[in-house]
Each structure stands twice: as C-alpha cells, then as structure tokens.
Amino acid sequence: MEFASDNTSGVHPRILDAILAANAGPVASYGADPFTAAARRALADLFETEVHVTLVTTGSAANSLALSALVPPHGTVFCHGEAHINTDECGAPELFTGGAKLTPVSGRAAKITPEAIARVHRNFVRGFHQQLPAAVSITQATEFGAVYTAAEIAEIGAYCRAHGLHLHMDGARFANAVASTGARPADLTWKAGVDALSFGATKNGAMGVEAVVFFNAALAERFDFRVKRTGHVLSKGRFLGAQMAAYLADGLWLENARHANAMAARLAAGLSTLAGVRLATVPEANEVFAILPRPLHEALTASGAHYYDWPGDGPDGGGIGPDEVLVRFVCSFLTAEAEVDRLIALAGNPASEGAAR
Amino acid sequence: MEFASDNTSGVHPRILDAILAANAGPVASYGADPFTAAARRALADLFETEVHVTLVTTGSAANSLALSALVPPHGTVFCHGEAHINTDECGAPELFTGGAKLTPVSGRAAKITPEAIARVHRNFVRGFHQQLPAAVSITQATEFGAVYTAAEIAEIGAYCRAHGLHLHMDGARFANAVASTGARPADLTWKAGVDALSFGATKNGAMGVEAVVFFNAALAERFDFRVKRTGHVLSKGRFLGAQMAAYLADGLWLENARHANAMAARLAAGLSTLAGVRLATVPEANEVFAILPRPLHEALTASGAHYYDWPGDGPDGGGIGPDEVLVRFVCSFLTAEAEVDRLIALAGNPASEGAAR
Amino acid sequence: MEFASDNTSGVHPRILDAILAANAGPVASYGADPFTAAARRALADLFETEVHVTLVTTGSAANSLALSALVPPHGTVFCHGEAHINTDECGAPELFTGGAKLTPVSGRAAKITPEAIARVHRNFVRGFHQQLPAAVSITQATEFGAVYTAAEIAEIGAYCRAHGLHLHMDGARFANAVASTGARPADLTWKAGVDALSFGATKNGAMGVEAVVFFNAALAERFDFRVKRTGHVLSKGRFLGAQMAAYLADGLWLENARHANAMAARLAAGLSTLAGVRLATVPEANEVFAILPRPLHEALTASGAHYYDWPGDGPDGGGIGPDEVLVRFVCSFLTAEAEVDRLIALAGNPASEGAAR
Amino acid sequence: MEFASDNTSGVHPRILDAILAANAGPVASYGADPFTAAARRALADLFETEVHVTLVTTGSAANSLALSALVPPHGTVFCHGEAHINTDECGAPELFTGGAKLTPVSGRAAKITPEAIARVHRNFVRGFHQQLPAAVSITQATEFGAVYTAAEIAEIGAYCRAHGLHLHMDGARFANAVASTGARPADLTWKAGVDALSFGATKNGAMGVEAVVFFNAALAERFDFRVKRTGHVLSKGRFLGAQMAAYLADGLWLENARHANAMAARLAAGLSTLAGVRLATVPEANEVFAILPRPLHEALTASGAHYYDWPGDGPDGGGIGPDEVLVRFVCSFLTAEAEVDRLIALAGNPASEGAAR
C-alpha cells in the first residue's frame, strides 16, 4: 500500500526501453544529441508553439532556474505560502536568483488569485527599500491537489501583464492537471500568459527529467550559462532527452496521469464513505488530502500503509481537530486498483490487517 | 512640523564636535584607530561585559552582517512579517547570508513571542527539504513602536537556547527601548540570551554609525572578512569611532532617546483627545501610529505636516476603515515641544493653517 | 574514430543492468534507498575507512558542493589555472560557495606543488582585505592527463595541514589515476590528507553519477541541506545508488579505467612515431595531448576523426608553433584497439581516408 | 613621516565646513536631499554630459556595485591581477555580482592593453562551460601609480565595443590621474568608452564618499535597488552629498590631487639620488614604489617612517633581489614638503634619526 509519493515509484517500461535504445554508439554530449532534439520538438508540438527547452533532473532545479531568468536578485516572487518553491526546496530559488525573496500569498488549497496577489502587492510602496515585485509563481496542480482552470490562469496572467510581472508555473504535476481539466496544454500556459513552465515527468513515470520550457525566448537568453553554473548540465544528456521523448510519445504522459488521477478519485470516494474520515479538499489530480482520526492513522501506519501526515494547517488553513491528523495519499502511474481497495478496506476495518501482521 | 522619520534630523552638536576633533593628524585606517577603540570600550562598559564590536554606517548593513554570522546559507530566520529586515532592506539579509530565508511570524505591534515562533517552527519537519531553523530576530523597539521587556526577551532567549537557534536583536532604536523600559542594557540583551545586537545611533543623533555587537565572540570569528566583502569597512574609520564614542559619552544616547520618547508621548496624548482620531497602538518609544480620518490626513499634509501614511494592516493586522488612513509620526532628539503642539493644534482645527498657507 | 571525450560514450552494460534491476517495486525516495546504501558501503570498503557519501549527477555539482563545505564565502581556493573548476564549470564553485574565489597556481601539465602554492599564498598578507586562504583543490588525473603520486599528494596534504587549509580532490578521472599509479585509493586520498573527493563514474561507464566523498565527517555537517538547495537531490535516488554500486562491483571501475588508459598509451605510442607530431606531455591516464601540424589536424577532422583542438598554451604553457595545433584525444572504456589503430594509420597517411569519404 | 596611505589623512577643512553647513534643519533622507542633488549636477558639469550618480562611502562598494550592473552572475570581468578589485576587496565584486569571476590580465605597472586582454579572452571558446566575458575593469591611476592616457583608454574602449564588453574604471585616484595627464575628465571616461566610473574622493580629502557614475543610464536601471540591498543607502545622505559637492567646488579635487602628485614626484626624485635605492616604476600619480635595501627599510621603519612593504612581484613582475624590499609611499593632499624632505634626508643617512629616537 504505497501512497507516500509519486516518486517512490520506479520508471515506466517504455521510458526504460528508450534509455536502453539511446545507449548505442557515441553521441555528442551536453545536450547536443538527437534525443534531446527530439524531446524539444515533441514539446513544441505539445504546446503548439515555439519553445525554448532545457532538460534537468529535478523539479527544484527546474523551478529555481526558471525563476533565476524571470526575476532580478533584488526582486520578489509572489507565490502561495505552501508552494513547493517556498517550503520544499531548501532555498534553491533564493540561491539561483542571487537572493530574491518569495513573498507568500494566501489562498484555499494552495491556489492563488489576482485578488489575493493584489492584497500583498499593494503593500509594496516603499520603492527601493523593498524588493521589486517581479514575478508570480503558481503550481499546477497545486501542493494540495487542486487544479487551475485555463480561465483562472488567464486572470492571473492578465494581472501579471498589467503590472509588469513575469508568470512562472511549477508543473511538477502538469500532466495530472491536463488530465483533470481536459484543457489543451497551450491554453493552460502561454495562451494564459505563462512565461516559463517547469514541466515535470519524474513523478509521472520518468527516471529523473524535468523540462524548463520558456514560451518567451527573450527570457531564456544565455540560459545555458545559468544551467551550467548550477551543475545541472549532464554530460550524457542523451538519457534525459530519451526519457522526455518517450514520455511524450504516443500520449504516455497523459495516459499515466489519467490513471493516477483515477486512482486518487477512487481512493477519495472510498475514504469519504468511512465514519470519522473527512476529505480535507476535493482531489482534482492525483493527491488525496484527508483528515483522519488519530487512532485510525496509527492503525493504518502500523499495518504498513505508506503515506505522510502533513505539516501545517491544511488546505483550509485550519479546522483540524486535536485528535485528528491531516494526511496525504499520492497515487502514481503504478498504483493498482487493488492497492487502493485494500487501503480502503483496511481503513474501514483497521483491526483486521494490523492483527494479521 | 517634521515627523517623517528620525533620520530626517541632522547630527547632534556634541557628535559633530567629536568628528571635528577626530580630524587632527594621521591615524591608522580601517578601524585600527584610537577613536574606534574608545567606542569599543564604551560599549563594553555599557553592556557590562566583553563585546566584539564592528562599526558600520547603516542599520541594514548592521542587521544583515550580524545575520550572516548567525545563520548558514541554507538556514532560516524567524522574525515578524513587519520586521525591518523583512520589509525595508531590499533583500540585504538574503544577500549577506548567501540566500537564507526570513520566515514571518505573527504578533501584535510587530512583537513576537515564543508561542508565535513555535506555531511556525513546528511546521519545519521536512528535514533538508526545508531551510534549517537557525535564528530568531526581534526588533527593539519594534517597527510599530512597541517595546519588549527584559522578561519577554528572556523568554524568547530561552526558546532559542532550547531549540538551537541564535538570537539577533535589531536595535536601530535600542536607545528608545532602554529609555522606555528603564532596564539595564545588559538585561535587555545578553543576559536575556541575545547573541548579536545591531546597536543604532544614526536615528538618535549620529551622522551615520551603527554597531554590530556580538556578546558571543565565537560567532564573530573572521567577521572582519564578512564586513570587508560587503564594502562596509570605511578607510577613515576614525570618524565612525568618534561618532559612537561621543554618542555614548555622558549619557547623550539616553538623553536623546528620552527626549524623543517624551515628545512621542506628548503627541500621542494630544492626538487621542481629537475626535475621529485613534491611536493604532499605545506608543512605547518614539513612534506614534494613529488612524486618521482621510480628510484630516489630507488637510494636515496640505498644511505642510511631514509624516508617512503607512502600508499594510497596522499593529493589529486590520481594523482600519475605508475612509481612514494609518499614519506614522516619528519624534527625534530634535523634535521641539512647540512643533508637537502645533501639529496637535492643527489636527484639532485643520482648516486654520491650511487656509493660511 | 571517437576521441572527443570520455562522456560521448554511453553506459556500460553492467551498469545498465543494475538500473533495470533497481526498477522493481516502490522504494524510499531522496537517497534513503537500499541501492544508495550499498553504494555507500562499497565506497567505505574501497577507501578502507568511514566515509560520508552523497551521490549527484555531475562533476561540476560534486566539485562545487564539496568546496561549499570546505571554504567560507570570504575564502579562496588555490588551484591550477587550468583546473576544471576554474575553466569549465561556469562559476558553479563561486555560486555554491557564496562567492569564494579561485586563485590560480602554476604548474606543468596542470599539476601543482607545495612550492607553487606557496608562491601565491605568500602574497596573502593583507588580512581581511583579501579573501582568506581556505583550501587547495587538485585534480587527479589532471586536465592534461597527468597523475599525482601518493607521495606528491601527501606533500600537498602536509602543506595544507601546516597552513590550516582544507584539501579537495577533483577525481572526475580518479579511476584512471588509480589504474595508472597502482596505488591504493586510501593512499591517494585521506592518508595523504585529502578531506573531500569528487569521485567520478560518469566518464568511466556510468550514465550520470558522481560521489562527493568526505573523509572528515565534521566537514559534511548539514551537507544534505547544501545539496538540496542546489537542486541536486534526485527523488528517485535509487538509480544513482544502483549505478555507483554496479560501478564498484567486481572491479568494473578499475577494469574500465585500465582499458581506457591502455588505449591512450597505444594512441600516444602510435602518434609519437609520426613525423611532425609531438606529444605535448607524456600521457599518464586516458587523455593524450598532442601538437599536430595544422594541415594534418585539418585532414584528420575532415576524415571524421572526433577530437578537440584545445584552447590555451598547453601543458608547458607555451611552445606551440603558429602552424601547429594543440589537440586532445580521450579514450574511454569503449574505445576499441581498432579505432586507435585506424586513427594512427590515418594520421600517418591522411590523404587516404579523407579522399575515400 | 606618514606615507602609509592617502587614507590615513583626515578631511580637508572645506569639506568639513560643508558637512557642518549641511546639518541645519530637517532634510529628506536616503539621498533625496538638495546636497546630493548639487553633487549630481557638479558631476554632470565635470563630465560635460548627463550622468547617473550614486554616492556611497567606500571604493569597494562603488566598484562592486558598478560591476553588479555591468555583468551577469555567470559573467567574467577582465582586469589586471593586481587590481584592487582582485586583491583588496575580499570578494565584494564576487558577492555583489552574484558570483561573477575576475579573470586576471597581465601588464606592466598594473596597466592592461587590448592585446593583453585579447591573449586571455581568446581562451574563452568553451561556450556555456566557461563564464561569459562581460566586462573589462581598469584602474586610473593604477595600483602601481601608473596612469592611462585618454588614447590608451580609448583603445581599450574600442576593444570592448567590438567584443560586446562593458568598460568599468576604478577611479579611486581618478583626480590624481586627471592632474597627471591634464586631460579632460570626459576624454578619460565616456568619450573613451567607459560605461561606469567609480569616482573617488575619500583618498583625496573627503571623509568617506565615492560616486558611482554611469555614463550609460540604461545600465543603471533599478540601480537604487542594488545599492539598498547591499546596505549602502545612507539615511542621512545629505552628508555624502555635501562632501562630494564641496570636493568638486572651486577645483578642490584637482588642487588636492596636484599637490599629492607633486609631493610624490619630489619624493621619487629624492629617492632616486640615493645609493642602492631604485624606483620600481616611474610614479605618474601620488604613489611611489621603490626597491630598498633591506637594512635601509628596517632603519627607516625603526625611525618612525610610515609606509608599507608591498607583497607580490612589483610593477615588473619580478626583479627584486633577496636582500631588497619593495615598498610603497603614498602622498596625500596633506603631505608637507618638509615631511618628504625629512624622509629623503633620513634615507640618505638612516643612522641619524634612528639613533635619535
């Protein structure tokens, strides 16, 4: 019963096969290989526009590198307080930008709105005494498993354009958001005003590859220098290219995401039938946040269910009782229906399996 | 009617005299001069202990340099969201620390407590995914003119020691806090657990000098290298030493602060008698935050009163009506009783002077 | 005829097999997996001592992260001017250390000696005006294919200890140096005073994995925070662990290096028989630097030989004629004898193949 | 006999008077005062063009801030290896630029030429593997007391324009260079291609003020944010403005520099008559570098002469015998003829005064 994270899963066989196939013969290093070129073309096709693409191995690198191109060292980025860049990257954005600040914005389920941004933005009246508002970063799907519609992103994009801010999207789970909304990738990104996207693949079946996608090539000027100085240019870049190309080929990325989302929906449906269990928020992608009675949580954990209790105040910023625990379940491309069902059965009768171990 | 800031005032005559006196003859540069040595001794006397002292020209430099010695680049500093280091130093703490984060803590009138720190601190359960809690920074007196008692600081100090955090105090208006509390400087600092203090003089009569005071010499190892690499080692350091020595001589620092505090109290008393005017918080040092009806604010400004309307939600984090304006008046060592009285008179009858201009 | 770099080769089959084998089932992420644990044990065995090991994907990351733990931001690192950290990492050391400087030291074939370090070191008499001498970094094998003996490293180590400097070794081609010297890894590293080693595998058959190995655990305190803030913690860390474990299993690392070195020796021997061709330095590892007549270089390139002409003044710091070209050939675990022989044959009769294309 | 540095002198009386005069009344803080405005106008007049001016307190700050606007964090600056920014600012350029590198260029007496720059520049063929050549920095007068002619600067400026490099001038002793060459300030700067100048005043009679002067306003965009984030915006900025305005008024800056230069010439002439003493280079500004027999150096020092022995290999990069000492004498606006003559007399008969002490 593995629901700890979508990154505890291994690699999809089609991506592994692509890695094997890429191994033949000598190939130019540092990304000047045909596999990376194919991945770039596939991303251009996917987004229906010219894109500037760089492949790196982690989401923290993708996000922080993108931000380093969008904001000056004396700038600030508006993002949700629970954004991954703010809570889970140990200061990589601050390092890569040369010291820019992340200014937290509030919002339900880690989503932000133009109004919420404006409530913080309007306090930036001190001129050079304060960091310069320079960008907005949103996460699609969010850290609480919510999804922005294309229209919601377009509103944020319009706010950004009106105020001279760049717009970054952390798309570590972008595939899940596309699967959830059914929207075209273009509509969720550049057509809505997104300047740069961290396009994730690792959580959704790759070994370790994320694309930094610029829709505005001017922002990517000398970007390769930025990547190199963070140690993120792999010499045998062909294996990043091969992963990304296979991930995008024949709709694998979307197929995987749909499966993970479906498993999350199945899990949420099951959990919501149980006495004492509440969904912390309606899952829109592949993550389920629930509030469990503490004894149930302890019994599940004792029975070998892998998932995390979650720090902080949850999607609503509160409402978790003293005898309750906020927890997160994540489904991946590998999650089996039977595994979901077993978890639900166990949660409905926690004594059973725990006793049997 | 000058209430814009305590730094719109010039220099106290006794400090100017000291600058003139320090000009005679050649003197060793870069702080190896007898004037700086005298300032160091005076600070050791004032704090009744050994101290490691460095003189710089600005509060932003003093704060950021101190923090750079207290936290690693992968660390975080807990401070109030309205702290000067968070809102008014354009990222100097982030730059000087190499990218450490400031994590905002809530509290009335920009004061924080161990409980408020703990509410944020307890969410740092992600290990290396999150920046390392490394220090707490408090401002004495706070950005909303409140003052910590020695006991309150000692509670924060105890929390810090219990959790392996260093404690920094931004004392840009430390003199005003001493004048307000009547406490001994030692009790407000190292005896309460403060590791490093930014000891301000500029706002209280100097031309431009602040001392970074370490009570824990181990933390100041190679600190001169840190100062030099930020361009804050003045070649003719004698003039910083002379300012600080004169500031501390014969109680000038405390005399100036008492005067400024008294003028603020007088101003607050006067304002609170006026219809429609509310104090946003009881002033405890030399700053008065008030909520004015917008028409009154406009009339005062039009009449030549210099003070700032203040961004944000004020000491209480809200409660300012749509037709009201939060404003800040600051009194300095130079503020005259007559000036205060004239402002109050004008505020009581705004048509009078405005019409006369 | 592929001699451009050892990183244009793919992955050794045994390492690919290990990657495939590691794919089964869910595994803890971020390096807390059994494969990484096995790699750590294997490195401890290899070095015959306790080690602190972190796996990353690039040599630039390994070097810069190691240095960030060895030097303060106001420090300097003595290294050869041709060191990879100085010329090929686009400032990653400067970024990761928070601004430390690399101070170039001279020496034949990119090797440095205590005497050469001392000639630069003795100019650091300006105290805090100058960056603090904090570390020495050497490359084993060097950028010009030379190798340090254990005794030579021990002399540098003694110098470092005598002067309070840490010692870092860039071991991107450490395996080739071990193969060349026949020395025990322990004697080339910690027994000679090395504090931290970047232990390369990528150039010698891995897909992309390098180990940062600390022999002094105190220097590695909170190192995981440093790694995370540079975006170098891979979520599916098992695949790094699996590569490194396979690389070390059954002597694969040494077997690959011996082959590459042997091919370089064969190439050098062949080239030195040719009229007009000089070895720029005697190859001691898997790189051959030669000085070719320009027409020969052009003919070889036209015939499809892949190798680089090399910027700068070469191993001797000069001596390259106006009609000559300094070039580098690199052999890898995949280089075939026939490929070497074909290159030599072509170089001996350049018209033949060029005409035949 | 004070020849240690031009910064061991105090402040010229006319500048002190200006500080006193600026003290009257409240004045807007942070540089928005009439004194700073007057200084800006005076600099525009001096340079006969529009300029963007920022006043800071140290030369390290001025240089590093200017460079931070001229080069990206992944860039490199070509400068002489003995440049103050490379040897005497403890990494401030690296910090303020976010990690850019200084690449040393050779040249006699710390002067560089287009040819010398090109010899280093041509090795930058590695693309993003190497830092991006972004600027050249020259010092006028140089660290060895040499002076660039307008024509020499124009040649460097032409090289920069041809290669997309910005040109910075460290003018800590710019006044001495103007006094030496007799050239118009415009001809030594923007007309010769200089983009940004650190215009010094501190060494030549001010208390502590240097101007960062941009001749290309586009490069200074948001420069005030950069200054603030380094803690270099003084609240009582009027005192920087007053110093700079007085320094420029009525030719004081040039008068002081002419005097200092004349004293250096007198000292050099006197020294060159002494047996065993050699000038290390012909002084062109206010610094004299000489090579003394060690016994003479020891006798002079014992007799109370203040000056420095100088690390490194001197203006010629060598030629100092084992029993010789390279020393530096600096003259300032305060150096008296009698002091010079006394030093020369003492050097001619070192036993005399030493015995008398």
Band the pLDDT of A355: cuts 50, 70, 90: very low
Q: What is the mean pLDDT of residues C266-291?
A: 96
What share of chain D has pLDDT > 90, as a percent? Answer: 94
8 Å CB contact of D74 and A229? yes
- Mean pLDDT across chain B: 96
With a cut of 70, say whether residue D354 has pLDDT above it: no
| Diameter over CA atoms, chain D | 65
- Other Cβ atoms less than 10 A from the Cβ of B137: the count is 28
List, for residues A37-62, the tens digit of each pLDDT value. Answer: 999 999 999 999 999 999 999 999 99
Least Cα distance to D327 among D312, D345, D308, D343 occurs for: D308
Please classify residue D306 by burial: count the beta carbons closer than 10 Å to its beta carbon, then call 0-12 exposed, 13-18 middle and 19+ buried: middle
Q: Taking CB atoms and an 8 Å limit, are A89 and C231 in contact across chains? A: yes
- Best of B76, B79, B90, B326 to substitute, by most chain A Cβ atoms within 10 angstroms, is B90
| pLDDT-derived band at D352, boundaries 50, 70, 90 | low
Mean local confidence (pLDDT), C277-283 = 96
CB burial string D272-287: b at 16+ within 10 A, e below = eebeebbbbbebbbbb
Helix or strand run (H / E) with residue B326: strand B324-330
For chain B, say whether C128 makes contact (Cβ under 8 Å). Answer: yes
Evaluate if residue B103 carries a pLDDT over 80. yes
Residues of chain B contacting C227 with CB distance shorter than 8 Å: 128
Which residues neighbour A298 within 8 Å (Cβ) at sequence distance 6 or greater? none
Q: How many CB atoms sit inside 10 A of residue C292's CB?
A: 24
User: What single string gives the DSSP state of each residue in D263-297?
Assistant: HHHHHHHHHTTSTT-EESS--SSSEEEEEEEHHHH
Q: What is the pLDDT of residue A103?
A: 98
pLDDT of residue D350: 79
Other Cβ atoms within 10 Å of B32 Cβ, number: 11
Contacts of A120 (CB under 8 A, 6+ apart): A78, A103, A104, A105
Under an 8 A CB cutoff, do A92 and C230 touch?
yes
> Contact B137/B194 with Cβ under 8 angstroms?
no
| Spatial contact of B236 and D207, defined as CB atoms under 8 Å apart | yes
- Contact assignment for B90 to A129 by CB distance below 8 Å: yes
Residues from chain B that touch A102, judged by Cβ atoms under 8 A, are: 101
The minimum CA-CA distance between B205 and chain D, rounded to whole Å, is 11
pLDDT band at A349 (very low <50, low <70, confident <90, very high): confident
Chain A residues within 8 A of B127 when measuring between CB atoms: none
Give the least confident one: A230-234, B273-277, C221-225, D221-225.
B273-277
Alpha-carbon span B104 to B92, nearest angstrom: 16
Chain segment C236-256, per-residue pLDDT in tens: 999 999 999 999 999 999 999
Q: Distance between CA B231 and CA B212 in Å, rounded? A: 15
Of C2-6, C113-117, D204-208, D211-215, where does mean pLDDT reach its minimum? C2-6
> Hey, are the CB atoms on C26 and A334 less than 8 Å from each other?
yes
Do A123 and B312 make contact, defined as CB atoms within 8 angstroms?
yes
- Determine the Cα–Cα distance for residues B32 and C64; give it in Å rounded to an integer: 36
Is pLDDT above 90 for B72?
yes
Q: Tell me, letter by letter, the H, E, C secondary structure of B62-98.
A: HHHHHHHHHCCCCEEEEEECCCHHHHCCCCHHHHHHC
A123 touching C (Cβ < 8 Å): no
Q: How far apart are CA C174 and CA C181, in angstroms?
A: 11
| pLDDT tens digits, one per residue of A296-325 | 999 999 999 999 999 999 999 989 999 999
Q: Report the neighbours of D using a cutoff of 3 or more CB pairs below 8 angstroms.
A: A, B, C
Instruction: Output the pLDDT for position A352.
Output: 63
Question: Can you give chain C as a three-state secondary structure string?
Answer: CECCCCCCCCCCHHHHHHHHHCCCCCCCCCCCCHHHHHHHHHHHHHHCCCCEEEEECCHHHHHHHHHHHHCCCCEEEEEECCCHHHHCCCCHHHHHHCCCEEEEECCHHHCCCHHHHHHHHCCCCCHHHCCEEEEEEEECCCCCCCCCCHHHHHHHHHHHHHHCCEEEEEECCHHHHHHHHCCCHHHHCHHHCCCEEEEECHHHCCCCCEEEEECCHHHHCCHHHHHHCCCCCCCCCHHHHHHHHHHHHHHHHHHHHHHHHHHHHHHHHHHCCCCCCEECCCCCCCEEEEEEEHHHHHHHHHCCCECEECCCCCCCCCCCCCCEEEEEEECCCCCCHHHHHHHHHHHHCHHHHHHHC
- Give the integer Cα–Cα distance in Å for A114 and D247: 51
pLDDT band with cut points at 50, 70 and 90 for residue A356? very low
Q: What angle do CA B45, B51, B52 make, to 5 degrees?
A: 135
Residues of chain A with pLDDT > 90, as a percent, come to 94
Phi, psi at C188, each rounded to 5°: -85, -5
pLDDT of residue C356 exceeding 50: no
Inform me whether the C-beta atom of residue A129 falls under 8 Å from chain D C-beta atoms.
yes
pLDDT in tens, D198-249: 999 999 999 999 999 999 999 999 999 999 999 999 999 999 999 999 999 9
Say what the pLDDT of residue C146 is. Answer: 98
pLDDT at D356 over 80: no
Q: Give the pLDDT mean for B186-206.
A: 98
pLDDT at C82: 97
Q: Which of B73, B88, B123 sits opposite A126 (nearest CB)?
A: B88
| Helix or strand run (H / E) with residue B348 | helix B337-348
Give chain C positions within 8 Å (CB) of D74: 90-91
Tell me if A61 and C207 make a contact (CB, 8 A cut-off): no
Residues on chain B touching A130 (C-beta within 8 angstroms): 87-88, 90
C residues 204-263 near A, CB within 8 Å?
207-208, 225, 228-236, 238-239
How near does any CA of chain D get to the CA of B108, in Å?
27
* B contacts of C225 (beta carbons < 8 Å): 72, 74, 128, 131-132
**Model-wide pTM > 0.95:** yes
pLDDT for position C350: 79
CB contact under 8 A, D224 and A128: yes
Instruction: Please state, in angstroms and rounded to a whole number, the distance separating the CA atoms of residues A217 and A215.
Output: 6
Partnered with residue D128 across adjacent β-strands are none
Can you give the pLDDT at residue C357?
A: 39
C-beta atoms of B126 and A311 within 8 A: yes
Do C99 and B229 lie within an 8 Å CB cutoff?
yes
CB contact under 8 A, B229 and D90: yes
C130 chain-D contacts, CB cut-off 8 A: 87-88, 90
Nearest-Cα distance to chain D for A17, in Å, is 31
Residues contacting residue D227 through CB under 8 Å, at least 6 positions apart: A128, D54, D56, D65, D233
> Is residue A5 less than 8 Å (CB to CB) from chain C?
yes
| pLDDT given for residue A155 in this prediction | 98
The runs of H, that is alpha helices, within chain D are 13-21, 34-47, 59-70, 84-87, 92-97, 114-121, 150-163, 174-181, 185-188, 223-228, 238-248, 252-271, 294-302, 337-348, 350-356
Q: What pLDDT is recorded for position B352?
A: 63
CA A252 to chain centroid, in Å, comes to 18
pLDDT of residue D28: 94
What confidence score (pLDDT) does residue A325 get? 96
- Is residue C200 over pLDDT 90? yes
Amino acid identity of residue B233, one-letter, is V
Reading phi first (left if > 0) and then psi (alpha if -120 to 50, else beta), residue B193 is in left
Query: Which of D1, D5, D6, D7 would you mutate first to test chain B, the one with the most B CBs within 10 A?
Result: D7
What distance in Å separates residue D225's CA from the closest CA in chain C? 20
Distance from CA of D333 to the nearest CA of B (A): 12
Question: Which of the residues A204, A230, A263 would you substitute to probe the C interface, choosing the one with the greatest number of C C-beta atoms within 10 Å?
Answer: A230
> Among partner residues A90, A99, A129, which is closest to B95 by beta-carbon distance?
A99
The predicted complex's ipTM stands at 0.96
Per-residue pLDDT at C155 exceeds 80 = yes
Cβ-based contacts of D225 with chain A (< 8 Å): 72, 74, 128, 131-132
Residue positions counted in chain D: 357
Q: Is A228 helix (H, G, I), strand (E, B) or coil?
A: helix
With contacts defined as CB-CB under 8 Å, which chain C residues touch D102? 101
pLDDT band at A357 (very low <50, low <70, confident <90, very high): very low
Instruction: Report the percent of chain B where pLDDT is more than 70.
Output: 98
- pLDDT tens-place string over residues D74-112: 999 999 999 999 999 999 999 999 999 999 999 999 999
Residues of C in contact with D91 (CB under 8 A): 73-74, 99-101, 131
Mutate one of A7, A94, A97, A125 to test the B interface: name it (highest B CB count within 10 A). A94
Q: Does C134 touch chain B (CB under 8 A)?
A: no
Residue A73 has its nearest CB partner, among D98, D227, D233, at D98
**Could you tell me if C209 and C173 are in contact, meaning their C-beta atoms sit under 8 angstroms apart?**
no
Chain A residues with CB-CB distance to C28 below 8 A? 4, 8
Only one residue has tokens 């991930």, namely: A247
- C52-56, strands of its sheet edge to edge: C52-56, C210-214, C196-200, C166-171, C132-139, C75-80, C101-105
Confidence band for C355, pLDDT divided at 50, 70 and 90: very low
Closest approach of chain D CAs to the CA of A319, in angstroms? 40
Using one digit for the tens of pLDDT, what is the confidence trace for A74-107? 999 999 999 999 999 999 999 999 999 999 999 9
| Contact residues on chain A for D73, CB-CB shorter than 8 A | 73, 98, 229
User: Of C25, C57, C228, which has the smallest distance from its Cβ to A90's Cβ?
Assistant: C228
Q: Which range (B238-247, D2-11, D34-43, D252-261) has the least confidence?
A: D2-11
Q: What is the pLDDT of residues A250-279, one digit of tens each?
A: 999 999 999 999 999 999 999 999 999 999
Tokens matching residue B31: 């702080």
Radius of gyration of chain B (CA): 21
Say which residues have a Cβ less than 8 Å from residue C71's Cβ, sequence separation at least 6. Answer: C77, C97, C100, C134, C135, C166
pLDDT at residue C102, as a whole number: 98
Q: Is the pLDDT of residue C22 over 70?
A: yes
Distance from CA of residue C11 to its chain's centroid?
17
**What pairing do the DSSP bridges indicate for beta strands D278-279 and D287-293?**
antiparallel
- Euclidean distance between CA atoms D302 and C275, whole angstroms: 65
Tell me which chains share at least 3 CB pairs under 8 Å with chain B. Answer: A, C, D
Mean per-residue pLDDT of chain C: 96
Q: With a CB-CB cutoff of 8 Å, which residues 20-79 of chain D face chain A?
A: 30, 72-74
What would the mean pLDDT of A125-153 be, rounded to a whole number?
97
Q: What is the pLDDT of residue A228?
A: 98
Residue D211, helix vs strand vs coil: strand
